[in-house]
Amino acid sequence: MVRAGRHGEYEERFLTDSRVYLTWDTFDSDIRKIPSRADLIRDLRERWPNAAEGKVRNHAAQIWAFLHTMAIEDLVVVPSKKKPELHFGIIRTDAQYDKSAERDYRHFREVKWLQDVPRSAMDKDILYSLGAIMTICAIRRNDAEARVRALLKLVNPWLTPG
């Protein structure tokens, strides 16, 4: 899951550009080059000297997942803040960096958007997982990915993710 801002402020851009963005405006350089998660934690501590250790580690985990854990062909969901629906897509690229882009849009992954699904079509346990406070996280509980892939095929039988 990748959220498109606290209030959905990046949602339209995600969909229009066929991308998900790492919208932490903290980064004005290519952080894909940071060699390890431990080094990312050190970098964040320097950027945020007054931040609690838990916050630094939490953000590092999310950023690292976006840059290095997500993979091409992974299913991605962007919960809408504008409508009662979920935007599903497939990751098409490794993390990219465009230094000429606006700050919130420099780090991204290209996405092939597949389907918007009404929240009402999702099982409650998956919706609860999508309610996680994190901006970027894997939804793994209760075989969620396989169930969502099956739902996407049910909604559009001709749709072949991947």
The number of C-alpha atoms within 13 Å of 73 and in the hemisphere containing its C-beta is 2
Q: How many domains does the chain have?
A: 1
* Helix H or strand E encompassing 89: strand 85-91
151 pLDDT higher than 90: no
pLDDT in tens, 93-112: 999 999 999 989 999 999 99
Across the chain, what does the average pLDDT equal? Answer: 90
Residue 128: the pLDDT is 86
Residues of the domain holding 27: 11-155
- The CATH number assigned to the domain holding 124 equals 3.10.590
pLDDT in tens, 44-53: 999 999 999 9
- Residue 103 counted as domain residue: yes
pLDDT in tens, 135-150: 998 887 888 888 888 8
Say whether pTM exceeds 0.85: yes
- Residue 1 counted as domain residue: no
